[in-house]
Amino acid sequence: MTDNKPAFLGIGAHKAGTSWLYTQLAKHPDVYMPPKKEIHFFDRSPQYLSPNTLAVSSPILRLLTSDKWDISTRIKDLLRIVKYTLARDFDTANWYKKWSFGYCDEDWYRDLFSHTRGVKTCGEITPDYSMLKPEDVSIIKAINPDMKFIFMLRNPVERAWSMIRYGSGRGRLEVNLASTDEIIYALQQPGVILRGDYEKTLDTYLQQFDSSQFLVCFYDAIKHNPTGLMNDIAKFLQVDPFPQGAINATKRVNASKPRPMPNIVREYLLETYAPSIERISESFGSYASLWQGSKIPVLSGNVNNDFGSADNSLKLPPTVHP
């Protein structure tokens, strides 16, 4: 068994800037991120409303039982092996070999983090870990009881609409964006609701991990203070600050196609999420205090005059375990 193990996980939220976060962390010289952003190891069970490409442990059976989407993904991974081998990037090529042909268990998962020479920390980001059940959070704890967690929060109204736009644009959701009835029906599906239930996520994890292991961050800070946000995260991960000018907030990563939110949909989402937004605002303040009424923060000048570094990300209050 390898002693390698991730030191941190990004657990969401979906459509809250996690792809951008992955891109920034992957550039830090002291941080190792796997070549593939979302591993989906802990949510591999078919019970989850997320990709279950690792539900079958055997690589041979995985290929035999794959649907068309899985097969297409595997072909792309095989092409990456060839690409990186030809480029003599053998570490990345070997990583994809393990990913594609390894027997999926806890040893295999640890081995995905074996290319960590010369770095101070390593981790992965899978937003659907926000939906984990307690028994799978227990597996995380068994792998690393000192695991750190980064949880990106976004106004749940805007997050839900972004998810609908993103999924529809890629054929993952069969919804006519010109029909408010179809949109609202899609918003009522468990996959949308669970991914926006930040309180449930924190409650589930804090039953087994101490609050000092969590850093709650805000999607809003990517626009208004990206360097402050990433240096808060660097401090949390105990690595050096990012070099001046290293953070790129202008290039969007994995963005949803822009489309105005219909007023009826906005009213529905505001009514749905109003109680949660109020509680989150009371607990965290900062950008969350601007979510009520789905206000978009408009800040000018030096953002640190309005929101200091501590408001881009927040440590949770002490955990009280039952």
Sign of the CA dihedral with 107 first, then 109, 111, and 113 last: negative
The stretches of the chain forming alpha helices (DSSP H) are 18-27, 59-64, 68-86, 90-101, 106-111, 134-143, 156-169, 180-187, 190-195, 198-206, 220-224, 226-237, 263-284, 309-312
Please indicate whether residue 171 or residue 196 has the higher confidence score (pLDDT): 196
Nearest CA to 217 out of 310, 319, 124 is that of 310
Which residues, other chains included, contact 278 with Cβ-Cβ below 8 Å and sequence gap of 6+? Answer: 292
Mean pLDDT, the chain, integer? 86
pLDDT value at 249 more than 80: no
Question: pTM of the entire structure?
Answer: 0.89
Tens of pLDDT, residues 257-285: 788 999 999 999 999 999 999 999 998 88
Determine the Cα–Cα distance for residues 250 and 263; give it in Å rounded to an integer. 28
Tokens matching residue 63: 């290929």
**Which domains occur in the chain, in start order?**
8-28+120-315 (3.40.50.300)
CA angle 236/279/302 to nearest 5° reads 50
Provide the pLDDT for residue 200: 97
Nearest CA to 245 out of 266, 262, 231 is that of 231
Percentage with pLDDT > 90 across the chain: 66
Which residues, other chains included, contact 189 with Cβ-Cβ below 8 Å and sequence gap of 6+? Answer: none
